[in-house]
Structure 1
Amino acid sequence: MKAAIEPTTGSTRTANLVLATWVSAINFWAWNMIGPLSTTYAGDMRLSSTEASMLVATPILVGSLGRIVVGSLTDRFGGRTMFIAVSLASIVPVLAVGAAGTAGSYPLLLVCGFFLGIAGTIFAVGIPFANNWYEPARRGFATGVFGMGMVGTALSAFFTPRFVGWFGLLTTHVVVALTLAVTAVLCMVVMRDSADFRPNTDPVLPKFKAALKLPVTWEMSFLYAVVFGGFVAFSNYLPTYIKTIYDFSAVDAGARTAGFALAAVLARPIGGALSDRVSPKYVVMTSFGGTAVLSGIAMLQPPPDLWSALTFISLAVFLGIGTGGVFAWVARRSPAQSVGSVTGIVSAAGGLGGYFPPLVMGSTYDPVDNDYSVGLGLLVVTALIALLFTALRLRAYEPKPAEGGPS
């Protein structure tokens, strides 16, 4: 599918950025179809805490690793083609998850959840797409706005349990699948690649190896694994956490999880915009510091509903600012011809960062004291390590790739 090229004008790039953000949102919704229903599945199928955690974590793993390939393909085929391809490829897994859940089969749901991870690869498409549309001075803003597509997790957390109550489990998945199809058609008709896009036709494997040799890839991968991994982990596991600790219903837990995800989504462009004005280093350091403090407060199990809500929403804000800051840093430091490859690897690291925490939370949960302190304590330690790494190892200002290349 050959991507159309559009001259760079203000209205055109705004329209393309808005559409790209919507494509991301609906694919994030699809990616997060299991998380909001995890407590329902656990009850109906009598799953252990570890089994329920595996169910939540499996789509995260596939969506993360798949970003490496999708990022490199975006360098070659352009964002428009890949937005269409990922949206269409996600339709069957969404329907399959609905069918498996209706059948009440845990093994089948686990397998279908594996392929549901395809929807999670969408993030690796949007960052290079937005970069091509905006000049370097505004790429923090552009990637931050695109990152608001994470709102799909909030939409899923809020609406998926309600849709299931209103329409039934399978019909809910059909609705999301149809929305993916409509979105793909909209991209075919409206979306265009920037005139600044230059296809990188080098084979994927050499591009991947070249990206791995860049220090920026490893440095940003570590930082993003903490901030985005924390966001993904909480967005998917928070319904289970809230129901277990505070005994809310699946619908109420979903509503509170939606508030967490929405706060992170709104904070992301703020982090990107701040990074256009000050060094991303200071934005990211603020994120890690806040994450450590709020995770420590969460260990104390603040009472519902006001204090627990303030704790987790504040945590979401710090994580959201960090995700915007890290990718503004990626856009600033990555060589233009390798943005997709670097983005794929960094965003994969972020997704992998979200894969392990649900497993850790499930395996370290203390049913006697109804306590998740071990898992939250590990997040505190990880955030502090990331803070020290950023403060001591990374420079506030880097030479531009065109001038000095990434360092």
Structure 2
Amino acid sequence: MNTATAPGAGTGRGFNLALATWVSAINFWAWNLIGPLSTTYAHDLSLSSTQASLLVATPILVGALGRIVVGSLTDRYGGRIMFIAISLASILPVLAVGLAGTAGSYPLLLVFGFFLGIAGTIFAVGIPFANAWYEPARRGFATGVFGAGMVGTALSAFFTPRFVNWFGLLSTHVIIAVALAVTAGVCILVMRNSPEFVPNTDPVVPKLTAALKLGVTWEMSFLYAIVFGGFVAFSNYLPTYIKTIYGFSAVDAGARTAAFALAAVIARPIGGALSDRIPPKYVVLASLAGTAVMAFIAIFQPPPDIWSAATFIALAVFLGVGTGGVFAWVARRAPAKSVGSVTGIVAAAGGLGGYFPPLVMGATYDSVDNDYAVGLLLLLVATALIALAYTALRLHAREPARDPAV
């Protein structure tokens, strides 16, 4: 692909980017179906804090690891085929989770929640798809817009508990399954790959091995594990956190979680666009500094609703800006023919960054004082400060030459 000018990429690129963002949103909704209902499951099934945390974290793990393979497959087959395949493959797990929840079976919820993680791999498709449509100077914008598909987590947090109240648990999952099927059908009919897309038919394992040898892969994976991992973890665990700390109902906790997710979604393209204008390093530094400060404030449990809302929305904004900044950095530095492979690994690191926090939060919860201080201190304050120091001291503001093509 000609990464300098991307001739012909302007034709239909806005429409395809918008459609890709929608595909991401509906798959993120499917991926996050368990989180908004976690407090309900915990109550109905008499789950411990650790069991509830494991239930929330399981789809995150699979969605993270699956991105490694999906990113490489996108290099080979293109975004259109992979968007269709993942949307269709997510339908059965969505229905199965609904059946398991209706049956009140914790083991089945874990098993089917594992496969629900398929929907979370969608992110590794969209970054190379968007990159192929846009010239290098606008890839921060493009990846930021696609990343706004994270709004699916906000939609799930807000609407899923309400849908359950209105239509019932199983019917809610049927609605999402139908939405996935319709989305796949629209992609079949109208979605197109960029004219600049060139399939990379090299075997997957060597491609991944080569991508793992690149410095950009490890550096961006570390940063993305913190900013995107923090977003994923709180988008899934915040309903439990809010209900535990502040005593809100599942519906009210979902509404507040939706506000958190929406703030991050709005901030992501801003982070990407800023990174088209200034070096992404400075965008990421601001994100990490803000994340550390707001997480530290959250330790003291600001009173509801104004102060707690301001704290977590500000935290979401800093995390969202960081996700946009990191992937704008990836788009600048990753070899053009291996963007999918690098993206898959970096995206997997972000997902893994979201897997462990719910487990740590559940394990470190202090039931006597009713706080998560240790978890917040370890997960966001300490890690954000370490990443801040690493980025400031070790990474260049001005981009070096791209890593050699692999």
The bucket for the TM-score relative to the shorter chain is over 0.9
Structure 2 unaligned spans of 5+: 1-5
Tell me, in whole angstroms, the C-alpha distance in 2 between the residues paired with 1:67 and 1:397: 29
3-state SS of the aligned residue for 1:193? coil
Aligned residues: 399
- Sequence identity, in percent? 81
Is the CA contact (8 Å cut-off) linking 1:7 and 1:194 kept in structure 2? no
Tell me, in whole angstroms, the C-alpha distance in 2 between the residues paired with 1:115 and 1:179: 18
Q: Which residue in 1 is equivalent to 2:145?
A: 145
Deviation at 1:398, TM superposition (A): 1.5
The Cα offsets for residues 329-354 of structure 1, whole Å up to 9 and x where unpaired, read as 00000000110000000000000000
Deviation at 1:10, TM superposition (A): 3.5
Deviation at 1:9, TM superposition (A): 5.1
Determine if the alignment matches structure 1 residue 381 to structure 2 residue 361.
no
Query: Structure 1 residues 17, 400: CA separation in 2 closer, same or farther (over 3 Å shift)?
Result: farther
Determine if the alignment matches structure 1 residue 106 to structure 2 residue 106.
yes
Deviation at 1:400, TM superposition (A): 4.2
Tell me, in whole angstroms, the C-alpha distance in 2 between the residues paired with 1:64 and 1:180: 20
Aligned pairs for 1:66-145 within 5 A: 66-145=66-145
Determine if the alignment matches structure 1 residue 371 to structure 2 residue 371.
yes
Deviation at 1:11, TM superposition (A): 5.3
When the two structures are superposed, what TM-score results if normalisation uses the length of structure 2?
Answer: 0.97
Aligned pairs for 1:37-76 within 5 A: 37-76=37-76
Tell me, in whole angstroms, the C-alpha distance in 1 between the residues paired with 2:337 and 2:389: 31
Determine if the alignment matches structure 1 residue 261 to structure 2 residue 261.
yes
The Cα offsets for residues 252-283 of structure 1, whole Å up to 9 and x where unpaired, read as 00000000000000000000000000000000
Which one-letter code corresponds to 2:255 in the other structure?
Answer: A
Structure 1 unaligned spans of 5+: 1-5
Aligned pairs for 1:130-209 within 5 A: 130-209=130-209
Q: Which residue in 2 is equivalent to 1:3?
A: none
When the two structures are superposed, what TM-score results if normalisation uses the length of structure 1?
Answer: 0.97
Is the CA contact (8 Å cut-off) linking 1:154 and 1:261 kept in structure 2? yes
Two-structure CA RMSD over aligned residues (Å): 1.1
The Cα offsets for residues 353-373 of structure 1, whole Å up to 9 and x where unpaired, read as 000000000000000000100
Determine if the alignment matches structure 1 residue 395 to structure 2 residue 399.
no
Which one-letter code corresponds to 1:106 in the other structure?
Answer: Y
Tell me, in whole angstroms, the C-alpha distance in 1 between the residues paired with 2:131 and 2:306: 39
Deviation at 1:395, TM superposition (A): 0.4
Is the CA contact (8 Å cut-off) linking 1:154 and 1:259 kept in structure 2? yes
Tell me, in whole angstroms, the C-alpha distance in 2 between the residues paired with 1:95 and 1:270: 35
3-state SS of the aligned residue for 1:271? helix
3-state SS of the aligned residue for 2:12? helix
Is the CA contact (8 Å cut-off) linking 1:20 and 1:126 kept in structure 2? yes
Determine if the alignment matches structure 1 residue 290 to structure 2 residue 290.
yes
Tell me, in whole angstroms, the C-alpha distance in 1 between the residues paired with 2:401 and 2:71: 22
Is the CA contact (8 Å cut-off) linking 2:49 and 2:363 kept in structure 1? yes
Tell me, in whole angstroms, the C-alpha distance in 2 between the residues paired with 1:140 and 1:7: 18
Deviation at 1:397, TM superposition (A): 1.2
Deviation at 1:49, TM superposition (A): 0.0
Tell me, in whole angstroms, the C-alpha distance in 1 between the residues paired with 2:208 and 2:326: 20
The Cα offsets for residues 37-61 of structure 1, whole Å up to 9 and x where unpaired, read as 0000000000000000000000000
